[in-house]
Amino acid sequence: MAVMGIIISNMEIINFKLNYETVRGNKMKRLLVLIITLLTLTALLTGCANTPKTTGSDNVIRATIASEPKTLDPSLNNALDGGNYILCAFEGLTRIGKDGNIVAGAAESWETSPDGLVWTFHIRKDAKWSDGKDVTANDFIYAWKRTVDPKTAADYAYYIYFIKNGEKINAGEADIDTLGVKALDEKTLEVTLENPCPFFTEIVAFPALVPQREDIVSADKDKWALNPSTYIGNGPYKLTAWEHDSKITFEKNDNYWDKDSIVAPKIEWYLMNDQNAILSAFKNGQVVYAKNIPSDELAAEKQAGNLKIQPLLGTYYLDFVNNKPPFDNVKVRKAFSLAIDRNYLVETVKKGGEKPATGYVPYGISDVNPEPDFRTTGGDYISVKPEDYEKNVQEAKKLLAEAGYPDGKGFPKVTFGLNSGAGHEPIAEAVQQMWKENLGVEVEILAQEWNVFQQSRKDGVYNINRNGWIGDYMDASTFLDMFTTGNGQNNAKYSNPKYDELISSARKEADPAKRIQFYHEAEKLLMDDAAIAPLYYYTEPVVISPKLQGVVNTKLGFVLFNWASLK
């Protein structure tokens, strides 16, 4: 709009100049020159007023990664975008550093007992909340107890299972005060684990384990995280505005212990889900960083030098709602999974360097040793060789017939739920057509806004759901723990006692080789039961302005602008 305004003004100026030659007298000439100059300046200023600055003059970082989040409550959030915003305002005992690795956060140091079960964290003396109050050990204890409390119904409650009695508390089998956490003094937190966990420093950096202020949260548990005046955090930024379905604004927290290292004074997160609108916002300079642009535009943006394909530790998959007909039949689930041409999805639909999925856990997760990794060691549960696709389809037809639906006859019409925007519709439409052509079944695609769809998926409203999982830390458990019976992230409603037993055994096992073997057996069972249909392993195509520098992108999907600046 701003550009169009300038063009119209300039047309008027040109017409004015044509008439200028007919004017006589030096005074009139000087007057007309002055008018022309003023018109030009007005047009330019109007254009500047309507477009946010992307020059280095204000160093405000404007970006878009998703649409309206469901929540910014650390205990209730279950999405990557919400977690990204939470890490602006909050900081765990550890944090993500400039190099993307885990470094000291609210805790300046820690030590572990010889058996690896007791961790003692020393919280910084200058660790403060955004309102100036001290961050204490009890702030972490309150937050973790709130998250694991079954009354909270937190999807990430199982992250507290690493801590002694966490699982029992969440199951209602132990008192919440038996959680293995203790404040030795205001600035010293002692944590006792169920079993040794060498990656516990990664766990306590996660958004679900940041501290929370009991006085703030308990005063209004439902709305405290919606209001900038009560969204009190201890992180590098503080929430100053949330214009719903439009923009979330964070400004530098002057009470943050490491405020001198924070470069960007303000981050404006634009809440968008229309891929074309996202690309337009990037091209017109409204944002300098954007995810979720149209797949068809990736090549052009690459040629323009704006596209970067970031590595991402995650899997895009479909939930079959296992406890709802017809997907309570394993043969139906297997048939639907085998009928999908995963190569077509990555090569023709996505086009972002993704790899077709042959199992659930992606490449990049360590096995007993880093190499060969977990995926390579576990092997392929689905053949994605192009020459095997027809064989997969024939097997799918056979299974569907055995389930009582030869050539799809008599199969009920089922629903496929997804969140609108972000490129999910083309994938769903391609898969819908494959099921129709290969199996003779009808699938209805139903789309909702992201913050609404998350609840529908959790409630099992549809027969099939679009889903995806980005690892929260670098271990197979971050992918496999979630499919235990009743887990808050288990949207497939999968339930197999043998699977639960394998995950429980893995959690308790101290021997690394035996522990990893339990996870391999669990993944095999998950795939044999076809609880889900992995489609492809993620990449993260993003467009970044050449002016933007110092961005931190992690393999776990977080993007940090703490140290970013504009040239």
Q: How far apart are CA 419 and CA 422, in angstroms?
A: 8
State pLDDT tens for residues 63-108: 999 999 999 999 999 999 999 999 999 999 999 999 999 999 999 9
Return the CATH number of 63-266+545-566, one of 3.90.76.10, 1.10.10.10, 3.30.420.40, 1.10.287.110. 3.90.76.10
Residue with tokens 């389930």: 403
Domain boundaries, the chain: 2-50, 63-266+545-566, 310-541
State pLDDT tens for residues 289-301: 999 999 999 999 9
State pLDDT tens for residues 40-61: 344 333 333 334 444 445 789 9
Query: What is the average per-residue pLDDT within 147-162?
Result: 96
State pLDDT tens for residues 486-523: 999 999 999 999 999 999 999 989 899 999 999 999 99
* pTM, 2 dp: 0.85
Question: 310-541, which class in CATH?
Answer: alpha beta
Say which DSSP state 423 is in.
T
State pLDDT tens for residues 8-37: 233 333 333 333 333 334 444 444 444 444
Task: Name 154's Cβ contacts closer than 8 Å, sequence gap at least 6.
Answer: 75, 76, 146, 147, 148, 208, 488
Q: Are 334 and 533 in contact (CB under 8 A)?
A: no
